[in-house]
Structure 1
Amino acid sequence: MDVRIGIQNSPRELGFESSQSPEEVKAQVAAALAGDAKSLEFVDSKGTVFLVPAAALAYVEISGVEARRVGFVA
């Protein structure tokens, strides 16, 4: 599934592919916004870790349907 995160005062969004379910990501974001968490930690399907400040979140877009890829993937 694809995750796109908008960060306040940043013209670009952070986009990555995750192996987590949409419900897991939604619960993680909701828990961070409701609590006193300083940052959110996401791990993409390649193992890259992303740390995003919870206070700087503008939006989180979660798409559960994977699109069919065309072409070569390295």
Structure 2
Amino acid sequence: MEVKVGIQHITRELTVETDDTATQVIEAFQKAIAEDGLLTLTDTKGGSTLIRAASVAYLDLGKEQPRRVGFGDI
């Protein structure tokens, strides 16, 4: 799933491709906001992106879809 993160006072958004579900991302964000901590997103290759939750302007959650196989959608 693609997650786009808008950060306050920055014109470009951050895009992370993750295997997490929308529910997992929302729960992680709510927990980070409640604790005034960091939102941690793990990408599909195992890397982590840490974002200070208080500076997040918005989260745009893409459609959840299974991993594609082959040369594209037919």
TM-score range, shorter chain: 0.7 to 0.9
In 1, Cα distance between the equivalents of 2:64 and 2:20?
Answer: 12
Deviations 1:38-62 (A, max 9, x none): x111110012211111111000111
Whole-angstrom CA distance in 1 between matches of 2:63 and 2:48: 20
Structure 1 stretches of 4+ moved >3 Å: none
**Residues 15-34 of structure 1 aligned to structure 2 (within 5 Å):** 15-34=15-34
The residue correspondences of 1:20-59 to structure 2 (distance < 5 A) are 20-37=20-37, 39-59=38-58
Cα RMSD of the aligned pairs, angstroms, is 2.3
TM-score (norm 2): 0.79
Instruction: Note if contact 1:21-1:64 (Cα within 8 Å) is conserved in structure 2.
Output: no
Q: Per-residue displacement from partner, 1:13-59 (whole Å, max 9, x unpaired)?
A: 0002100111100100011112232x111110012211111111000
TM-score (structure 1 length as normaliser)? 0.79
Percentage of matched positions with identical amino acids: 34
